[in-house]
Chain A
Amino acid sequence: MEGFLFYLGGAMMLLGGVAMVASRSAVSAACWLVLSFLGSAALFAALQAPFLAVLQILVYAGAIMVLFLFVIMMLEGPVMPAEAGRPKFWIPAGALVPAAIILVATARWVPGAGLPGFPGDLPPGFGQPVRVAQLLLGEYLLAFELISIVLVVAIIGALALGSNERTLPWK
């Protein structure tokens, strides 16, 4: 089962990533990104971490994507012709995915070619919210704090580059 989820999620992420880069309009690129996020949620599910899978969908595919679309809308960039000149390779790529899924799904019943499951027994509490919190605020505390600094720097940088003198709220 884990093997099936792995290949399914991997295919979704690949397809979503390639299509995101290839799409001409920012909005459809953002929508393809959702597919990629859903694929990574499937990977977390395959890793026996349902909490992270749900978070991935709620936070990334949900909240952050809404923010992305909001920003795209606010920027009001030049609307690119969505269809003109679109690369056509996504059609065979899209056709490959169901084929791959069928292949993966049927491989289970081919003797000697079964998909590997999750090896061994999991430690108690694996993938539970408690364990995630322990890792985040225990072992990886420094990384957690550094990420907040990275975000502050990114906000300062974005504000400095994106604003012009007249629109700064405090001037």
Chain B
Amino acid sequence: MITVPPVNWPALLPYLVIGGGGLVVMLVDAFVRTLRKDHLTALTGLVFLGAAIAMIAVKPEPGPQLGGMLTVQMYTRFFDFLLLGIGLVTTVYGSAVYSQDGDYRPEFYPLVLFAVLGMMVLVAASDLLILFLGIETMSLAVYALVCGRRGELRSSEAALKYLLLGSFASAFLLMGAALLYGCAGGTSYAALAAVGGTGEGGPLFAVGLGLVLVGFAFKVAMVPFHMWTPDVYDGAPAHVTGFMATAVKAAAFGALIRFVTIALPGLAAHWSGLLTVLTVLTMTAGNLLALVQASIKRMLAYSSIAHAGYLLLGVLAILAPAGGDPGRPLRESAVVQAAGSGLLFYLLGYCLMNLAAFGVISQLGRSGGVEADQVDHYRGLSGRQPVAAAVLAVAMFSLAGIPGTVGFLGKFYLFEAAIRAQLVPLAIWGVVNSLLSVYYYLRVVVVMYMSDDQTEPFDGRNWETILLAGCLAALVVLLGVFPAAVHGLTSLAFGTMLG
């Protein structure tokens, strides 16, 4: 007799809508012969909206699902909404690209849906097995998306590099999970927490944790594991790069935060030394290498590495108080609460400003087989396309952390939490780094506004993309001026995860 664990259908509805929607879009694409390009866009958009409506309309009992494999709570719902939004924006960007030039890739739509499904599962996972499957669903879809242009050498090179290195990182994660299973006798986060809390894991447990950390480090591009990032971000089409820079990073951080707080609350002392080194390396190397880039996509790739460093600072701030007092539950600490809500706020802002930037890059179109890649291609853009230039300028100001934008407040919340967690040297180093970053972000603005060169060939226009990017830029400013409501929300969401 097979006993299926109780299935809470309302809680699983969003996952079913996205997964089922992906299958429907795939089959419609394959079998409906009278299909026009924009039909698929509309259908994909409807699936994303349907999943969002399912989350708003159906309020399930929060908690573990399917025998503790998944956990649905406000924290995971926060990430679900964020990922659905990114998926929707990417779909619109992508369809605009396909309507501009002839190279139409119908598999883009189901792959985006499945990637978002993998990310949602990844954030909600409460078991190493599900964590791994979420990462694989996400990664396999993104590998294929990176190769967005058939027959283009750079795009294929990027996809191959990402596939090989990504598979390697997955193997590390799997090996680590196997060792943890051997030590804890189970793969659930609860089993790991039970063993990790007593310190009985021994050396194999530590090795397993290290290997799992390597898997995460690859996905969020921490510094010794970042080598793939610039080439892949550069080779992929801009709308896919935007998806990778935002959704993949947000999902991986969402899962990492849950993993360190739920599965390893008692192990902060072992993690924080290693993570401190990684944080400093990631911030510094990302910013220094971004300084010397002539290509805007490579610059944004290194900038995304630097931002991963700032986010790691927040993760450290969560771990630090627990390290000082192992017996005390994390939820009672105001510092942990501040760091966690700061992290979520930063991730939201980071996604908004990057999507706006990549929207502008994507809509400028292609000339001679390449995208508007070099910073020099943006010379005098303010004269030719004032709206696009303004959107890109807002995104750059926000990435640099200029006050009045969401980027400033995100950094403010993170560094403040780090100082309260007594990580003062690290916080100062973070501020120094973000000062350094102002140079390369503002260089783009200077090139756009202080030059009247009108000869650049990149002059694609697409009102859907620019409208959407404009809305995102408006949100960047709005949240930078009125953060209270959203910050309250992130605080609440993080609180639900701690229980």
Q: By DSSP majority rule, is chain B's interface helix, strand, loop, or mixed?
A: helix
With a CB–CB cut-off of 8 A, which chain A residues contact B107? Answer: 156-157, 159-160
> Is B2 within 8 A of A137, CB to CB?
yes
> Is A170 within 8 A of B66, CB to CB?
no
Q: In the docked arrangement, what's the CA distance between A14 and B147, Å?
A: 34
Q: In the docked arrangement, what's the CA distance between A157 and B111, Å?
A: 8
B135-161 interface mask toward A, CB cutoff 8 Å, 1 = contact, 0 = none? 011001101100100110000000100
Can you list 18 A-B pairs, Cβ within 8 angstroms, ordered by A? A134-B3, A137-B4, A138-B2, A139-B67, A142-B66, A142-B70, A146-B134, A150-B140, A153-B111, A153-B118, A153-B144, A156-B111, A156-B144, A157-B140, A157-B144, A160-B111, A160-B147, A161-B144
Q: In the docked arrangement, what's the CA distance between A39 and B150, Å?
A: 40
With a CB–CB cut-off of 8 A, which chain A residues contact B26? Answer: 152, 156
With a CB–CB cut-off of 8 A, which chain B residues contact A153? Answer: 111, 114, 118, 137, 140-141, 144
Let me know if B130 is at the binding interface, CB within 8 A. yes
With a CB–CB cut-off of 8 A, which chain A residues contact B133? Answer: 143, 146-147, 150
> Is B4 within 8 A of A152, CB to CB?
no
Let me know if A72 is at the binding interface, CB within 8 A. no
**Taking the nearest CB of chain B, how far is it from the CB of A136, in angstroms?**
9
With a CB–CB cut-off of 8 A, which chain A residues contact B130? Answer: 142-143, 146
B-contacting residues, A121-140, CB 8 Å: 133-134, 137-140
A-contacting residues, B250-283, CB 8 Å: none
Pick from A138, A146, A152, A170: contact of B5, CB below 8 A.
A138
> Is A149 within 8 A of B2, CB to CB?
no
Q: In the docked arrangement, what's the CA distance between A154 and B143, Å?
A: 10
Asked if A150 meets B3 with Cβ closer than 8 Å, knowing A157-B144, A160-B105, the reply is no
With a CB–CB cut-off of 8 A, which chain A residues contact B1? Answer: 134
> Is B2 within 8 A of A165, CB to CB?
no
Asked if A149 meets B66 with Cβ closer than 8 Å, knowing A137-B2, A156-B111, the reply is no
Extra pairs beyond A149-B19, A152-B114, A156-B111 (12, CB < 8 Å): A133-B2, A138-B4, A140-B129, A141-B4, A146-B134, A149-B22, A149-B118, A153-B140, A153-B141, A157-B111, A160-B105, A164-B151
Asked if A143 meets B69 with Cβ closer than 8 Å, knowing A133-B2, A134-B2, A161-B147, the reply is yes
Q: In the docked arrangement, what's the CA distance between A157 and B134, Å?
A: 16
Q: Interface residues, chain A, CB within 8 Å of chain B?
A: 133-134, 137-143, 146-147, 149-150, 152-154, 156-157, 159-161, 164-165, 170
Q: In the docked arrangement, what's the CA distance between A47 and B80, Å?
A: 40
Asked if A152 meets B23 with Cβ closer than 8 Å, knowing A137-B4, A146-B121, the reply is yes
> Is B70 within 8 A of A170, CB to CB?
no
With a CB–CB cut-off of 8 A, which chain A residues contact B110? Answer: 156
Pick from B67, B69, B114, B143: contact of A149, CB below 8 A.
B114
**Taking the nearest CB of chain A, how far is it from the CB of B171, in angstroms?**
12
The 7 closest A-B pairs by CB, nearest first: A157-B144, A146-B133, A160-B107, A153-B140, A142-B69, A153-B114, A142-B66
Q: Which of B2, B4, B30, B121 has the most CB of A within 10 A?
A: B2
Let me know if B117 is at the binding interface, CB within 8 A. yes
Q: In the docked arrangement, what's the CA distance between A164 and B4, Å?
A: 43
Closest B residue to A134 by beta carbon equals B2
**Taking the nearest CB of chain B, how far is it from the CB of A21, in angstroms?**
13
Closest A residue to B68 by beta carbon equals A139
Q: In the docked arrangement, what's the CA distance between A143 and B70, Å?
A: 10
With a CB–CB cut-off of 8 A, which chain B residues contact A164? Answer: 150-151
> Is B2 within 8 A of A154, CB to CB?
no
Closest B residue to A165 by beta carbon equals B150
Q: Which of A133, A152, A165 has the most CB of B within 10 A?
A: A152
Closest A residue to B16 by beta carbon equals A145
Q: Which of B5, B105, B140, B159 has the most CB of A within 10 A?
A: B140
> Is A141 within 8 A of B140, CB to CB?
no
> Is B129 within 8 A of A150, CB to CB?
no
> Is B5 within 8 A of A139, CB to CB?
yes
With a CB–CB cut-off of 8 A, which chain A residues contact B4? Answer: 137-138, 141
**Taking the nearest CB of chain A, how far is it from the CB of B10, in angstroms?**
16
Closest A residue to B151 by beta carbon equals A164
Q: In the docked arrangement, what's the CA distance between A152 and B107, Å?
A: 12
**Taking the nearest CB of chain B, how far is it from the CB of A4, in angstroms?**
21
B1-36 interface mask toward A, CB cutoff 8 Å, 1 = contact, 0 = none? 111110000000000000100110010001001000
> Is A160 within 8 A of B144, CB to CB?
yes
**Taking the nearest CB of chain A, how far is it from the CB of B376, in angstroms?**
32
Asked if A150 meets B2 with Cβ closer than 8 Å, knowing A156-B107, A161-B144, the reply is no
Q: In the docked arrangement, what's the CA distance between A140 and B134, Å?
A: 14
Closest A residue to B67 by beta carbon equals A139
Q: In the docked arrangement, what's the CA distance between A160 and B1, Å?
A: 41
With a CB–CB cut-off of 8 A, which chain A residues contact B144? Answer: 153, 156-157, 160-161
With a CB–CB cut-off of 8 A, which chain B residues contact A141? Answer: 4-5, 66
With a CB–CB cut-off of 8 A, which chain B residues contact A159? Answer: 107
**Taking the nearest CB of chain A, how far is it from the CB of B126, in angstroms?**
11
Closest B residue to A140 by beta carbon equals B129
With a CB–CB cut-off of 8 A, which chain A residues contact B129? Answer: 140, 143
Closest B residue to A137 by beta carbon equals B2
With a CB–CB cut-off of 8 A, which chain B residues contact A154? Answer: 140
With a CB–CB cut-off of 8 A, which chain A residues contact B151? Answer: 164
Q: Which of A137, A153, A156 has the most CB of B within 10 A?
A: A153
Q: In the docked arrangement, what's the CA distance between A109 and B74, Å?
A: 61
